[in-house]
Structure 1
Amino acid sequence: MVMGAPAPASAAPTLHYYAIAPGTSVNVRSGPGTNYTIVRVLAAGSQVLIYCQSPGTTVSGYYGTSNIWDNIDDGEYISDTYVNTGSDGYIAARCS
């Protein structure tokens, strides 16, 4: 790096917390679909960070019907239909 040169732009996206549907507890699964094991349950009123999103099982939930699943931690996914993202589409990078 050259002294006095601007720092390179960070490629890391800014993460935001998103609210779970009101009055709803949500199953957290080990993968992007209802056929994956439930690893824990989020309590009503929880908020989550979405690290990436992946297509999976289509689910009908509080915010409509979708096949988008949100990765909220290592090996933890919830259906996007229970997260208030303000969008019916992808709001984060696809999981690799």
Structure 2
Amino acid sequence: MLMLHRGDRVSDVARTLCCARSSVGRWINWFTLSGVAGLKSLPAGRSRRWPFEHICSLLRELVKHAPDDFGYQRSRWSTELLTIKINEITGFQ
């Protein structure tokens, strides 16, 4: 934004920062709409649907049982199987 404010062209800013002109355009839009706050990074990824504590509680309950209690043909849990079961219960994918 400072480079643009001092009069640099969008293409010059993009070249200097090694990014696309469209990226500079997005920054301009964010700044125009929200000021400096619009330039702050958002947290990565989507937000969780279930609080972490609830997932931990569910995990503790699951490991009290063997996988074969739920119809799986295994005697021990693997991280993959726990993930599958948690996703099945919570509806996550």
Same fold by TM-score, threshold 0.5 exceeded? Answer: no
Hey, which of these two has a bigger chunk of helix by percent? 2
- TM-score scaled by structure 2? 0.29
Hey, which of these two has a bigger chunk of strand by percent? 1
Rg comparison, structure with higher value: 2
- TM-score scaled by structure 1? 0.29
